[in-house]
Amino acid sequence: MKFLYSIIGTMKADVIILFRYRKSIISDIITFLALYLGIIIFNDASNFSDFYNVQISDGPILLLIGYIFWTVSNIALSYSSSIIVGDAKSGMLEVKLQGIIPYPVLSFFSVLVSIIESIIVLFFACLISLVIGYIEFTHIPFILLSIVLTIPSIIGMYGVGLILAGFALKEKSIGQFVSIVSAILLFLSNTLILNLPNYIYIIPFTSGIDISRNLFSIGVFDSYLFIIYICVCSLWLVVGILIFNILLKKERTQGSFDSF
């Protein structure tokens, strides 16, 4: 029970912190929404309708699916790395490492709080899309399904965040590096680009995008691609934990871990 109470306590504290720093969350929401507006203005949704052989009116929802997966994954990546680096900077990392809950597990439940911010961002993105006639009300159930399908990508991107945070332990700062990685993932993945080779599925959320788009366009759930999706995200989680633990051990033995 102590294990469960510790997790619940951590998540409650993270929720309080999330809404206490309202300026930060509002700034993040505005940034993501501005980016979404840029995407729908400068991208031709008809390319998606042509590629997936659906009606022109369905092109925008296919574009929105990519944005949903990228947004949720990006927020998870940002939270996972910033939480760990923040703990290292404040000196709480060493304290949490001595707790009854393994640190990667504890920080993962903190990352789950980021889903709240993701839902807020996507709510306003969908609201804007409905108001301007970009999508239809009939698309809402499928949008909710797509959000559910992002869960494995949260796990995978958490693993990526562990790797980035591990390399940032020495300087106790990750700067704009996460933003750069997020931008690269946006413009080089199938979020906005069509007909990419299959090796793109090494990125955690990309197979999820194609699963959702195929499900919407042809009504078929690609079970084989879903297995790839689960395996890739699980692999990133395992690799992330291993690399983070190696880098953490190195920093504790060779670096100035207790200096902050």
Burial of 109 (0-12, 13-18, 19+ CB in 10 A): middle
pLDDT of residue 156: 97
pLDDT of residue 259 exceeding 60, the answer is: no
pLDDT of residue 1: 67
Q: Assess if residue 247 is contained within a domain.
A: yes
What is residue 97's three-state secondary structure?
Answer: helix
Domain count across the chain: 1
Tens digits of residue pLDDT in 94-122: 888 888 888 898 889 888 888 888 999 99
Q: Assess if residue 256 is contained within a domain.
A: no
Q: For residue 173, give its domain range.
A: 1-251
Q: Assess if residue 189 is contained within a domain.
A: yes
Locate 131 and state its tokens.
């108001």
pLDDT of residue 141: 92
Task: Give the span between the Cα atoms of 257 and 250, in whole angstroms.
Answer: 10
Please report which confidence band the pLDDT of residue 228 belongs to, taking 50, 70 and 90 as the band edges. Answer: very high
Task: Give the span between the Cα atoms of 134 and 141, in whole angstroms.
Answer: 16
pLDDT of residue 99: 80
Q: Assess if residue 260 is contained within a domain.
A: no
pLDDT of residue 23: 59
Single pTM value for the model: 0.90
pLDDT of residue 72: 95
pLDDT of residue 260: 44
Q: Assess if residue 246 is contained within a domain.
A: yes
Q: Assess if residue 91 is contained within a domain.
A: yes
Tens digits of residue pLDDT in 175-225: 678 889 999 999 999 999 999 999 999 999 999 999 999 999 999 999 999
Q: Assess if residue 258 is contained within a domain.
A: no
Top-confidence residue, 239 or 42? 239
Q: Assess if residue 257 is contained within a domain.
A: no
Task: Give the span between the Cα atoms of 142 and 148, in whole angstroms.
Answer: 10
